[in-house]
Amino acid sequence: MSDKASLLQQPAPLADVGLRLEIATLFVQALNLEVTPQEIDPDAPLYGAGLGLDSIDILEVALLVSKQYGIQLRADSQDNQQIFRSLRHLTEYIAAQRTK
């Protein structure tokens, strides 16, 4: 198989850097974080030691995401721990589910 053929078969990334930066900017603005969107590590945990968000912060982010991207995030969803695991996970979820 040629290199070109193998490149064509590789899946595209689920979320692009632009969307990730857009979401990071929402975090910084809505939560008045003392970092720039570019400083947020996409793989760092959103809770606790990573970005340091608490459950109220996550609720606020969920409301923003719902309004901005047309995604319904439910507080009682078993998927929330995975969705909000990191900025990368949240971005991938939004990219796959967005209606706006």
Q: Read off the pTM.
A: 0.79
Side chain identity at 35, as an amino acid letter? Answer: V
Task: Identify the architecture of domain 15-97 in CATH.
Answer: Orthogonal Bundle (1.10)
Sequential pLDDT tens for the chain (100 residues): 444 444 444 443 544 789 999 999 999 999 999 999 999 999 999 988 888 888 899 889 899 999 999 998 887 888 888 999 999 999 999 999 988 8
Closest CA to 90 of 76, 100, 71, 75: 71
Q: Which two tokens stand for residue 97?
A: 């589910």
Percent of the chain with pLDDT over 90: 54
